[in-house]
Amino acid sequence: MAINFSKKPGLVIYFTAGDPDLETTREMALAAIDHGADVIELGVPFSDPLADGPVIQRASERAVAKGTRLADVLVICKEIRAARPEAGIILFSYLNPVMRFGMEAFAKAAKDAGADGVLLTDMIVEEAEEYLKLMHANGLAPVFLAAPTSPDARLKAIAENSQGFVYAISRVGITGTQTELASDAKGLVERIRKFTKLPIALGFGVSTPEHVRAVVEFADAAVVGSAIVALIEKTPAEEAPRAVGEFVRSLCGGVKTA
């Protein structure tokens, strides 16, 4: 099982694939893995990233403008898998590019590319029957998002249908960095725990080493996305893998412990 948060702190790192370019995305992912990321979320850029704040919107716009396609993201997924057999890799996408690719073709291609799981932001658990069948048939872990506003019945359905981990959203709203962690977060993780033994990763607004430390007090892993993407935005491509590696190491507090 490649999704594993047994070393502390558990860390999921998000990249918008194709920003600044696919090769750099691959090198940054490898650097992140080497410096402490347990799971890489490879984001497929989309023209209308509804759940994302300005940082990831801009990255997505740049990557779409470069012509980055789902098929390209699958290629670097396969390369990352070949280079780092033990790392966790999740393909992250909005639903439409996957539907255009074909859900069944996508599930097969994701398996072939060595992905461990899939997170589709706008795939809701209530309408996921066919998607879940295809995930199961191809040995892929479906990861669903759980929000602080979700009632218990919905959290239960999300927890029961997720594999790999459950992605808890720290606050109401969209992705983006913030100075303080939301007070919603801990309560949500506790509510999800009632329904599952799966690890729970907390994301949205987790931006600093202090946040990561605070998150892993009550969750199994922290997801860092916008802070990484913002760093990439201001770093020249050739320096980005090293910069990302250093930032990931700082997020881990310098060292991971078993």
User: Among residues 19, 138, 145, 133, which one has the least CA distance to residue 94?
Assistant: 145
Comparison of 204 and 247: residue with beta carbon closer to another protein? 204
Structure tokens at 224: 């860092």
For binding to another protein (CB under 8 A), which residues are involved?
46-48, 50-51, 53, 57, 61, 64, 67, 69-70, 94-101, 122, 149, 172-174
| d(C-alpha 221, C-alpha 203), whole Å | 9
Q: Shortest gap between Cβ of 150 and another protein (angstroms)? A: 11
Residue number, 45 or 199, with CB nearest to another protein: 45
CB of 199 to another protein, least distance (A): 25
Give min distance, CB of 5 to another protein, in A.
Answer: 27
Q: Any residues with CB less than 8 A from the CB of 136 and at least 6 apart, and which?
A: none
The one-letter amino acid code at 238 reads: E
- Could you give the residue numbers annotated as active site? 41, 52
198 with 163: CB under 8 angstroms?
A: yes
For the CB of residue 154, give the shortest distance to another protein in the complex, in Å.
14
If the CB atoms of residues 68 and 196 are measured against another protein, the closer one turns out to be 68
Q: What is the DSSP letter of 149?
A: T
Q: How far is the CB of 16 from another protein (least distance, A)?
A: 14
Q: What is the H or E stretch that residue 188 is in? A: helix 184-193
Residue spans of beta strands (DSSP E) within the chain: 10-16, 39-43, 88-93, 117-120, 141-142, 145-146, 166-169, 200-203, 221-224
The position carrying tokens 């590319």 is 113
Which DSSP letter does residue 128 get?
Answer: -
Using alpha carbons only, what angle is made at residue 32 by residues 118 and 87, rounded to the nearest 5 degrees? 50
Complex with another protein: residue 48 or 180, whichever CB lies closer: 48
User: Can you read off the two tokens belonging to residue 54?
Assistant: 């300005």
Residue number with CB closer to another protein (4 or 96): 96
Number of helical (H) and strand (E) elements in the chain, helices listed first: 11, 9
To the nearest whole angstrom, how small is the minimum distance from the Cβ of residue 95 to another protein? 4
User: Angle 22-34/240-251 helices, nearest 10 degrees?
Assistant: 30
Closest to another protein by CB, 22 vs 31, is 22
Kindly give, in sequence order, each residue whose CB lies less than 8 Å from that of residue 61, ignoring residues fewer than 6 positions away: 45, 47
